[in-house]
Amino acid sequence: MKKLVVIGSGVAGLIAAVEASRTHEVVLVTKSNLAESNTHYAQGGIAAVTTDEDSVAEHIADTLSAGADYCYEPAVEVLCKEGPDRINDLIRFGVDFDKQGAKYALGLEAAHSHPRILHAGGDTTGADISRALVQTLRETAAEIHEYTFVVDFEIKDGAVIGVWLLDSSGKHFVEADAVIIASGGAGQLYRHTTNPSVTTGDGVAAAFRAGAELADVEFYQFHPTALAVPGSFLISEAVRGDGAVLINNKGERFMQKIHPLAELAPRDVVARGIQAEMISQGGQPVLLDATALGADFLNQRFPSISKTTRSYGLDWGKNPIPVTPAAHYWMGGIASDTWGRTSVKGLCAVGEAGCNGAHGANRLASNSLLESIVFSRRAVQVLEETWPDQAASVRWKESGLLSIVELEDESDRAPQKDLRVVDRVELQTLMWDKVGLARTREELVSTQGELQQWRSANIENRLFTDWEDANLLLLSRAVTAAALARQESRGGHYRLDYPDTDPNMAKPITIVRKKK
């Protein structure tokens, strides 16, 4: 029996902990409470083939198409083929998916060729899944550490041997034979994000410091429709799937001129279309018009969205509501193979923290929850197996590498007291303005210069938030460096100075820690 530490309490972490607890000693660590994660806020649902009218082959084709000719096909095949069985797992864990009569009430979202999106509670799918898995986990023998921060991983002879944690009692060490990182993404890199405040990329940053390779970090998906109010509350893509349309301040639809699928085009296309329209109207938000659906339908189909819009004095059953793009999902992360194994022995990465190539350059709507449940279970399945020599390099062996970018970690150089301690709001604003939806070489080079003028708080006195800021600073440098290296536009990465997609660049950029 191995001792496994699981980092994170989203669906990927919860599934990993539940599955592993059958045969291993499990410690689950989360820096907030068990329910606080991106999973909890997922409205749109989970994509999987559950009807005879649909097929796994078509789900694969849709995923590859949305991924902008950049997906790692073996990972996509695993995702779509194993998805239906993992849906059945969730049902056994107590998730009650919405039905119409005896059949599932399947939704249609952008770039899907069939209605295949399962929902629970209308627009509270993530919360329903989270509740079921949290309850299941509490019935296991797993040791749970809430409000506990992962500082770093301890590495010996190229393999992980434990985790350094920080909680209200101070810093302490937990031994581990293996670690599964399921700590989510890094939406807090940006001023506008649909992600909760806990998404500061801690697991990804700690893995990089431990020597793990990062991949595809330049690809960040911006959700087209966040409510244009403080907090950037997500307006689910399912709303557009049900017939809502985007209009400018003149009341005109504009997406029809940009893409044949109009409002249901891939997310990166819709987000940039909205951004362009906002620029043309002096920065004012565009409007999402769902009035044709009717107040009764909206209240029943999207109860939490209706409640939230009302809390801001908006009645979306009668009037269009203001929306803006916001950072939503990170296609990049810790490079892994299709079993979640990274370049560091014993260290796995799954869910949004990992990058196995399944999403390519642009995640297909509602594939994220599916990826989490599929690959977290697979990571548990290989814990007892011999670690491959180059687990994370499987993908690059087949496609080759576009570039390897060496990035220096602050700990590798002498302390520079003359630098300013990083300010999170300034960092988020910089990333939003210069490394967001549209990028240029000039702005990326400028951003690199500005990031070099900041440092993290002194390590001996760091609190949770100081560690978060240190991780955000590190990941800002990684994203900017990768965005500068990719001289093309593809999926979630858009360069104004290289607006076309270059087939020769359909290869990963990896970020590695610069050798001392």
pLDDT tens digits along 6-29: 999 999 999 999 999 999 999 999
Residue 39 confidence (pLDDT) above 60: no
According to the model, what pLDDT value does residue 38 have? 55
The DSSP H or E segment spanning 19 is helix 11-20
The answer to whether the CB of 7 falls within 8 A of the CB of 16 is no
Convert the pLDDT of each residue in 65-115 to its tens digit. 999 999 999 999 999 999 999 999 999 999 999 998 889 999 888 789 999
Name, of 165-179, 263-277, 453-467, the range with top average pLDDT: 165-179
**For residues 326 and 232, is the Cβ–Cβ distance under 8 A?**
yes
Q: Return the H-helix or E-strand segment holding 430.
A: helix 424-434
**pLDDT the model gives residue 516:** 72
pLDDT of residue 232: 85
pLDDT value, residue 40: 58
Confirm if 352 and 329 have CB atoms less than 8 A apart: yes
pLDDT digits (tens, 9 = 90+) for 165-217: 999 999 999 999 999 999 999 999 998 898 889 999 999 999 999 999 999 99
Q: How confident is the model at residue 455 (pLDDT cuts 50, 70, 90)?
A: very high
As given in the structure block, the two tokens for residue 380 are: 């548990």
The per-residue pLDDT for range 382-439, each reduced to its tens digit, is 999 999 988 888 888 888 889 999 998 887 776 677 899 999 999 999 999 899 999 9
- For β-strands 220-227 and 321-330, DSSP reports them as antiparallel
Residue 126 is predicted with a pLDDT of 80
Average pLDDT over residues 272-288: 91
pLDDT at res. 44: 65
Across residues 441-450, what is the average pLDDT?
Answer: 98
Looking at every residue in the chain, the average pLDDT score rounds to: 93
Query: DSSP character for 514?
Result: P
272 is catalytic: no
CA distance 442 to 112: 36
Residue 287: φ, ψ to 5°: -120, 140
**From CA 430, how far away is CA 516, in angstroms rounded?**
29
Q: Residue 37 pLDDT more than 60?
A: no
Span 297-307, average pLDDT: 93
3-state secondary structure of 177: coil
Per-position b or e across 472-507, b if 16+ CB within 10 A of its CB: bbbbbbbbbbbbbbbebbbbbbbbeebeebeeebbe
- Mean pLDDT of the 37-57 span: 81
Q: Is 147 left (phi over 0), alpha (psi -120 to 50) or beta?
A: left
Q: Residue 78 corresponds to which amino acid? A: V
> HSE-up of 482 (CA within 13 Å, CB side)?
28
Average pLDDT for 230-244? 89
Q: Are 424 and 467 in contact (CB under 8 A)?
A: no
What local confidence, expressed as pLDDT, does residue 238 receive? 85
- 68 DSSP assignment: T
Residue 490 near residue 332, CB atoms below 8 Å: no
Give me the mean pLDDT over the 55-73 stretch.
96
* Average pLDDT of the residues in 31-50: 75
Residue 296: band (very low, low, confident or very high) from pLDDT cuts 50, 70, 90: very high
Q: What percent of the chain has pLDDT over 70?
A: 97
Mean pLDDT, range 128-157, rounded to an integer: 94
Of the candidates 116, 191, 267, 439, the residue annotated as catalytic is 267
pLDDT at 414: 67
Find the mean pLDDT for residues 228-238.
86
Buried b (16+ CB within 10 A) or exposed e, 374-384: bbbbbbbebbe
Question: For 106, how many CA atoms within 13 A lie in the half-sphere containing its CB?
Answer: 18
pLDDT at 355 over 60: yes
Between these two residues, 236 and 501, which has the higher pLDDT value?
501
